[in-house]
Amino acid sequence: MQDYLSPERDRVALITIDAQRDFVLPNGPAAVSGSMSAVPQMQRLTQAFRQLGAPIVHMVRLYRCNGSNVDLCHRAQIESGQRIVMPGTSGCELIDELKPDTTRRIEPELLLDGKLQEVGPKEWIGYKPRLSAFFQTPVEEHLKALGISTIVICGTDFSTSPRSSVYAAANRDFRMVLATDAISGATDAGLNELAQIGVYLMATDKLLDWLSRSRQAA
C-alpha cells in the first residue's frame, strides 16, 4: 500500500507561525501564555534546519494602525487604538532567538505587497493576512517550486494560526509534522484531532533525531 503520510526528510521545510515579539514576550500587548516556554525548542529547530540547508519560512502578522487589513475578531481592538504587530514597530519583529541575523528587520511594505522577504540562505519571512499561512500568501507556490512535500510547523497559540495552517497544508496535500513542544497552547484534544488527519506529532528531540538521519544518509 502506498504511503502518502510519512514525512520525507529530503523534502522538508520548517514554517514558524507568529513568533513575534508582541505575541511571545511576556510584556507584549498580545502575549500568548506559554509561548516563552516554547522558544528554546523553536530556536533548536530553526538552527537545525539552517544546518541542514532546508528551507525555513517565518509567517507573521502585520496590523495596519487603521485596522484595514485586520481580521474581524481583532479589528475593533486595533481601530480603538491598540497597537499590536504594527508595521515598523519593534513588536512586529521576529523574536531574536529565531532570527538568522539579529540586525535584520522586517520590511513591512514588501511583505504587505504579498512578497517574501529573504533573510538568509533558504530562509524567508512572509506575511499572512489571516490565520492560515496559506490564505492569500505565496507560500504554497514557493514551497512546491522548491520540491517540498513535508512541512514542520511550530510557533505560538496552537488553537488559532498553527492549527489553521496545519489544516490548510493538509488540504494542499503536504505531509505534516507538528512540533508538539515548540508551540504554545497545544491541548491533548487538539493534537488528537490532528493525528486523526495524518499529522505526525513529534517533540523536538525526536524531530532533531529524525532530521539528523537525513544528514547521515547524505
Beta strands per DSSP E along 22-133? 56-60, 117-120, 123-127
Nearest Cα neighbor of 14 from 216, 190, 208, 217 is 208
Q: Please report which residue ranges of 4-66 form alpha helices under DSSP H.
A: 21-24, 35-52
Which DSSP category does 121 fall into?
T
Domain ranges of the chain: 9-61+93-217
pLDDT reported for residue 35 = 97
Rounded to 10 degrees, the C-alpha dihedral 9/168/34/44 comes to 20
More confident residue, 218 or 135: 135
- In terms of CATH architecture, what is 9-61+93-217? 3-Layer(aba) Sandwich (3.40)
pLDDT higher than 90, residue 213? no
The predicted model gives 120-127 an average pLDDT of: 97
Give the C-alpha separation, 126 to 112, whole Å.
9
Give the C-alpha separation, 42 to 174, whole Å.
21
Task: Quote the distance between the C-alpha of residue 146 and its chain's center.
Answer: 18
Give the C-alpha separation, 191 to 214, whole Å.
26
* Mean of per-residue pLDDT scores for the chain: 95
pLDDT tens digits, 131-169: 999 999 999 999 999 999 999 999 999 999 999 999 999
Give the C-alpha separation, 107 to 117, whole Å.
7
Q: Tell me the pLDDT band of 218, cut-offs 50, 70 and 90.
A: very low
